[in-house]
Amino acid sequence: MTKFSLALPKMGCGTWAWGNRLLWGYSPDMDQELQAAFDFCVTAGITLFDTGDSYGTGRLNGRSESLLGQFSQAYQGRNQDKIILATKLAPYPWRLTAGSMKRAYRSSSERLQRPVDLVQMHWSTANYAPWQEKNLLRGLAELDDADQVRGVGVSNYGGDRLRKIHQWFTDWGVPIKTLQVQYSLLSQDPVTKYGVKEVCDELGIQLIAYSPLALGLLTGKYSLDKPLPKGLRNRAFKQILPEMGQLQACLQELMAIHQKTMAQVALNWCICKGTIPIPGAKNLAQAQENAGALGWRLSAAEVENLDRAAASVSKTMLQNPFQSQ
């Protein structure tokens, strides 16, 4: 069987923000706004789009995938043939067999209106149901064996668990192409505590950074003298913002040097760390700002300065509870 290559761009666009937005109250009026963001990204060479079958729950189940499929089908123009659609399949408790994951894939593919390029396990069940995991991963491997996808990846895995499942995939004759973890200047535990970068480099796995702007904390949008988001983010932001003085000062200095925004500097840091960041883009303006992180590069000394400034923040972003070691 012929295997297809999966050439990932330097930066992708995540639909995490789109998925959450659907949960908060989706309306069809958003479609045109999101289509404009999608079209701009593809034209600019940002062609990796990541979503998940759990984004949009209840009556909107899978709505994020449906929107992404709609936008992909409607787009005609530059880089059209380079669009990469990636989705993450959730290991729900009722998904117990390889066949259940393949059925979930078919549903995602129908919503996306095309075969999925990169199919990923959304999180590891190692923390609560380790017996469930191998069968589900085997289902992903069988999709690759049948050439139904161009690559298989995983998400929220730590270095130890990644090594273990990598051996399973090796035995099945299928490579793991990507690992997706929460990673930013304010969320470095997957690398510093769980060693994912070292393992990915050793095993030839591309690291993808989700939430690279720390839910907006690295955009300069929020401060203690301005209204903060409600809910859980409100509490987290109130704890983190007072600790960010040194990091913000470093980011502002680099903004002035490179004539870039704070978000663009933070995304470029992720790129310099060897990851593909996937910032959310809910409108054209955000997509345009994200694109400004490409085409230039922080120096090694500037990256080190940011590393030191980030280390001064004692209260950082909460980790995904499904992150394994």
Which two three-digit tokens encode residue 204?
């030839």
Active-site pick, 55, 157, 194, 222: 55
Contact between 143 and 109 under an 8 Å Cβ cutoff? The reply is: no
CA distances from 175 to 58, 85, 108, 116, 178 (A): 34, 18, 22, 17, 9
Q: Which residues contact 63 (CB under 8 A, 6 or more apart)?
A: 22, 26, 55, 56
Of 188, 223, 239, the C-alpha closest to 209 is 188
Comparing C-alpha atoms, which of 287, 301, 273, 293 is closest to residue 185? 273
Strands 48-52 and 12-14: parallel
The conformation of residue 59, written as its DSSP 8-state character, comes to G
Angstrom distance (rounded) from CA 156 to CA 179:
8
What sign has the CA pseudo-torsion 153, 156, 162, 167? negative
Residue 222 annotated among the catalytic residues of the structure: no
Residues taking part in catalysis = 55
